[in-house]
Amino acid sequence: MENWSKIRGPRSKVRANARPLDDGFWRLEFGFISRPALGLLLCVSIAGCGWLPSLVRSSADKSLRLTEEARQACESGDRERARQLLARAAEIAPDDPEVERRIARVLLLSGDTNEAVKQLRYATRHGVDDPDAYLELARVLLDARRYDECQEMIDSALRLVPTHVQAQLMAGRLAELRHKDDEALEIYYRLLGNDPSEIEATLCVADVLVRMDRTSQAAPLLRTVVDSDRIPPLEQARAHWALGLIYGRDHRWLESAAQLSASAALRPELSAEESYQVAYAWWEAGDREKAQEYVSRTLAVSPQHADALALATALRQGDSASQTAYSRPPLPAPKVWQ
């Protein structure tokens, strides 16, 4: 397979200090503009260059199309074609920040995080100061656990727009990942001070409070979310689920089961363990029919789920022996309630 270092345009030259996509599969190099082309541009600048902006836009558009084709090639597993397309895109528009961002996204798709970070850094240098450009890089650095660099990008975004919501949310998330829950709460509460209706910040506060074992403070926040008819379904589902787990910790099983089921109704699917948690809550609440429904859903996803198999056995034994709620055999509680 041809290395990226061998990819050059037909008129490009290799520079000693060329800016590469270095090391490994995704290497790119950009050469100088050729002398004939430079002469043409000088003539145009003297004679009048009214058509030059159109030419620049056309080159950028072509590069963007090439990066889209590269993305499709990468998704289909044709990395060689993706490599060639990215090389062409970079050669046509070597300093266009949007093209560099597109190249970075394909590199991420290929799994080459280090090269993607380099391209996104180039994009922030070549483009106008844009907080969203810094945040795109910050997200990549966050996923790569390069937290110090991520903090720098978040700070850059907030210097431009101190009240930028996504930047503040990312700052809070970064604080959480660094196990600085008090700092994260301070960030989220400051965001809510500016906009009390910010649902993501509310849910983040609740998550941190639960982790800090301050469920009595988290529950009222979550109830404000589930009681609102203006909250999108996915956020509603998150709030119902978190509230259901809190009620389960307090052994308020009927309320727990109701909240977990409300969340399940709003979500496209549940994992096997999540379905078992709902089944267990209904079992503890004494509703055998609902418990059977969710244990069946658990086993449909994971037929060998040991705890769900134990609950299914308990339900069958209960049917044959007509057991009361007080004579039920003990069952293993889900890990979230242990």
Half-sphere exposure of 33 (CA within 13 A, CB side): 11
Nearest by Cα to 208 from 197, 196, 221, 226: 221
Residues of the chain with confidence (pLDDT) below 70: 1-60, 63, 70, 74, 90, 93-95, 108, 126-128, 318-329
Q: CA–CA distance from 279 to each of 173, 248, 301 (Å)?
A: 31, 12, 14
E strands in 124-223: none
pLDDT (0 to 100) of residue 40: 40
- Is residue 150 a contact partner of residue 174, using CB atoms and an 8 Å limit? yes
Spatial distance between the Cα atoms of 244 and 279, rounded to a whole number of angstroms: 12
Residues 6+ apart with CB under 8 A from 67: 85, 86, 89, 99, 102, 103, 105, 106
Digit-coded pLDDT (tens) for 84-93: 777 777 677 6
Number of H helices, E strands in the chain: 16, 0
Nearest-angstrom CA–CA distance, 154 and 122: 17
What pTM did the predictor assign?
A: 0.70
CB 257 within 8 A of CB 290: yes
Task: Provide CATH 1.25.40 ranges for the chain.
Answer: 1-31+60-127
Rounded Cα distance between 31 and 17, Å, is 10
CATH node for 1-31+60-127: 1.25.40
Q: What is the chain's Cα-based Rg?
A: 28
What percent of the chain has pLDDT above 90? Answer: 51
Hunting for tokens 């397309």 — which residue is that? 85
Contact (Cβ atoms closer than 8 angstroms) between residue 278 and residue 295:
no
